[in-house]
Structure 1
Amino acid sequence: MASSVIDLTIRPRGKPIKNLPELITIGREDSTSQIFQKISDASKFSANRLRVTKGSDGSPIPNATDVTVHDTGLRNRSAVDVKDLGPQIAWRTVFIIEYLGPLLVHPLFYYGRPLIYGTSTSPSELQKLSLILVMVHFIKREYETLFVHRFSLATMPAILTLKNFGHYWFLGGMNLAYWTYAPTAPTARASNPLFTYFGLALFVLGELGTLYTHNVLKNLRRPGSTDRGIPRGLGFDLVTCPNYMFEIVAWAGFWLINWSLSTIVFVVVAAIQMALWAQKKERRYRKEFGDKYKRKRFVMLPGIY
């Protein structure tokens, strides 16, 4: 009868990890999270900054409580490679900080117009509306981060946060704010009310749509689990990621209100990143659910992409 415990050979991959054990003993029916925990306890590194792969084929071993060591195909004296991913930061913390940027920067430019632009004129109604919409959007984002989103990964490498913070603090913050509240901005002049009302309608539709889809995605994942179901409901029959579709709808509405090139730059950069994520998610759904999943021709925008 096979022993209920096995020994795994631990090998460093990349830069050396101090105190990395050469061998660990673990039960066949233990969860793979126990592999991470044993390595973490010995090396004094957080389990979240460790990448563990099978030495035989390089496939990743998940840090999961619902996958056993036996499920991975690891056997006695199997080798596993361990890589240090570097300092990590919690995804929830990343989201909170990046969305905080526009929430701080936009009021600063709006109320600091006399110092920033050297003008004594009051902000226009469109500039006031723009500020309200930006605040609504990012307050909703913060709410979703705290109470709606469930993250499949606990952390991300700290070095990668520079890109996220730059996008929201600079493009969505300083760049968007500077050109929205300037006395020479399109928002400082009267606009066609039809464009304003239509833009406002699109914005509201987009915001409600993203809130709905985020709640659908939340309910697909059990608390404390990374397992997912197949998403269904409004928008999910049209594209892989309707949350990205509604995000673009909301910002298209905002652009119809402020007519700023800075809005287009912010949205285009975001859309490129969302498109890459949507493609990856479509591939993952096809692999994970097989024939149960209705493959999508368009991943983000119906009839376009």
Structure 2
Amino acid sequence: MDWYTGNTAYDTVLTIAFGFAAFVLVGGLFAQSPYGRFATTKIGFNLNPKLGWLLMEIPATVVFAVFYLSGPNRFEPTSVVLALIWLLHYGNRGWFFPLSIRQVPGKRGSFNVSVLGMGMFVTALHGYLNGAFFSHDYKHQYDTGWLTDPRFLVGVVVYLCGFILLVRSEAIVRNLRDKDNPGATEYRIPYGFGFRFVTSPAYLGELIAWAGFALLTWSLAGVVILLITAGNLVPRAFATHRWYREKFADYPTDRKALIPFVM
């Protein structure tokens, strides 16, 4: 089956997205995106974490809604199910996560404006590629039979496993800070659940979730976001692991960086 859909605009954006994924994969080998513990003030100005995350993720929801609702198949059962899976992810990532951050009072070093611009570009791409694909069904694959296809069923299970790992890991990190006094301590060693095995279980969960998403949608749009996520999070996971081991003398020696028992 040809990779392209036959829709010139969609195929052009998809090509751009793959080019950007290649850029992220290569760039991640040389430097970490300047946010969180790797933030910098060298480029532009900084925003507080809540505002930075919220602004960065908003395009995903808005762009997805615009292009999904403009498609002829927007009310078809399979398209609706795929849209609900999308909304599950971005309801958490785009709204709950940023609004629930327990930030250190007055801190503005976590979100460089360069990261914000790059993130908005990625989430807008992602929103368009999936919103348009689901509701236009360019490949004519999303009839009701898709909901019982093994690729969809296995993909849903993989996605939900990753999503649960992601959400639970983020909750553990969030609860390391007292909600009434988030500035009491900035960084502590997290324990429990995925942290028993790896330093970055949230990153692992995100990667598993997008792998499942690529499978359950059986689309190149899903492959693109998996590649971009891997290019950003895999090297960041190793950098985070080194950071914890250097900062905390009592950091668990048997904990791997990203993949349990492996690396």
Structure richer in helix, relative to its length:
2
Flag the structure with larger Rg.
1
Cα shift at 1:240 = 1.4
User: Gaps (5+ residues) in structure 2?
Assistant: 1-40
3-state SS of the aligned residue for 2:195? coil
Runs of 4+ more than 4 Å apart: none
String of CA shifts for 1:198-222, please: whole Å, max 9, x gaps.
Answer: 3222222222221211111112234
Alignment correspondent of 1:301? 259
Alignment correspondent of 2:91? 139
Alignment correspondent of 1:174? 128
Distance 2:224 2:160 in 1: 21
String of CA shifts for 1:14-51, please: whole Å, max 9, x gaps.
Answer: xxxxxxxxxxxxxxxxxxxxxxxxxxxxxxxxxxxxxx
Alignment correspondent of 2:108? 154
Q: How many residues align?
A: 215
Distance 1:208 1:168 in 2: 21
Counterpart selection for 2:209 from 250, 257, 268 = 250
One-letter identity of the residue aligned with 2:63: V
Distance 1:212 1:273 in 2: 21
Counterpart selection for 2:119 from 150, 154, 164 = 164
Distance 1:151 1:127 in 2: 41
User: Gaps (5+ residues) in structure 1?
Assistant: 1-82, 115-120
3-state SS of the aligned residue for 1:295? coil
State whether structure 2 residue 218 is matched by structure 1 residue 263.
no
Identity of aligned residues (%): 21
Distance 1:146 1:85 in 2: 25
CA RMSD of aligned residues (A): 2.6
One-letter identity of the residue aligned with 1:196: F
State whether structure 2 residue 187 is matched by structure 1 residue 228.
yes
Distance 1:168 1:221 in 2: 28
String of CA shifts for 1:109-131, please: whole Å, max 9, x gaps.
Answer: 222014xxxxxx56543221111
Note closer, same or farther for the CA distance 1:93–1:296 as it changes in structure 2 (3 Å cut): farther
Alignment correspondent of 1:212? 168
Cα shift at 1:230 = 1.5
String of CA shifts for 1:125-153, please: whole Å, max 9, x gaps.
Answer: 32211111111111112112111454695
Alignment correspondent of 2:45? 87
Q: Is contact 1:207-1:247 (8 Å) kept?
A: yes
Counterpart selection for 1:101 from 41, 59, 71 = 59
3-state SS of the aligned residue for 2:234? helix
Distance 1:294 1:232 in 2: 10
Note closer, same or farther for the CA distance 1:122–1:84 as it changes in structure 2 (3 Å cut): closer
Note closer, same or farther for the CA distance 1:233–1:84 as it changes in structure 2 (3 Å cut): closer
TM-score, normalisation: structure 1: 0.63
Structure richer in strand, relative to its length:
1
One-letter identity of the residue aligned with 1:272: G
Distance 1:301 1:211 in 2: 17
Q: Is contact 1:187-1:258 (8 Å) kept?
A: no
Cα shift at 1:266 = 0.8
Alignment correspondent of 2:153? 197
